[in-house]
Amino acid sequence: MAVDRYRMPAPWGAIELCAEDGELCGVRPLLGSVPAPSSAPEGIAEMMETIEGLLATPSATAPELRQRLFALAAFKRLTPFAQQVLAAASEIEPGAWLSYTELARAAGSPAGARAAGQALAHNPFPILIGCHRVCSAAERTHFDILKPETFRPKAYMGEASLAGVAQWLRLADLSL
């Protein structure tokens, strides 16, 4: 199946939105920059506007957006536990953080912290579902607003190269 790719500018570089048969199947932060958003079909263009809004004014995933994302095939392909993890992560408000253990507990598996982390690493809709608001318990106790480097995780979406994106998102959450 062919995947169409659309890019839009972001403060750290770019965001790529992927679609299969016109349906959103993934969002991915990129480090390379793009000068302007790609021309995209209406549904993808609307999602680009939603992302722009979330970058300008961070928020938890709105109920209508949550319903829309959870109905997509990319979400339905996830395991039931991963779906529960992302559903719980989507409700975290800006400036709030949950530990992996707290998130696993919210998803119905108190001993599933590692599995919750793996579910976040495979989040098909980062930024739309704020997985950057989840961290280790030890990391959370060391956040210091006077030291922005404390908001930088070791990786984001399982990739060390994207850690700066999560840092930007975490700090943007605090600007409210």
CA pair distance 47, 45, nearest whole angstrom: 5
| Cα 68 to chain centroid, rounded | 15
- Residue that the structure tokens 């930088």 belong to: 152
List of the chain residues with pLDDT < 50: none
- Taking alpha carbons only, the member of 125, 119, 106, 139 closest to residue 51 is 125
pLDDT for position 176: 63
Burial (CB count within 10 angstroms: exposed 0-12, middle 13-18, buried 19+), residue 162? buried
The pLDDT value recorded for residue 164 is: 95
pTM, rounded to two decimals = 0.93
pLDDT the model gives residue 142: 87
Instruction: Give the number of other CB atoms < 10 A from CB of residue 46.
Output: 13
Residue 157: per-residue pLDDT: 92
Which domains occur in the chain, in start order? 3-174 (1.10.10.10)
In this prediction, residue 67 carries a pLDDT of: 97
Q: What is the pLDDT of residue 37?
A: 96
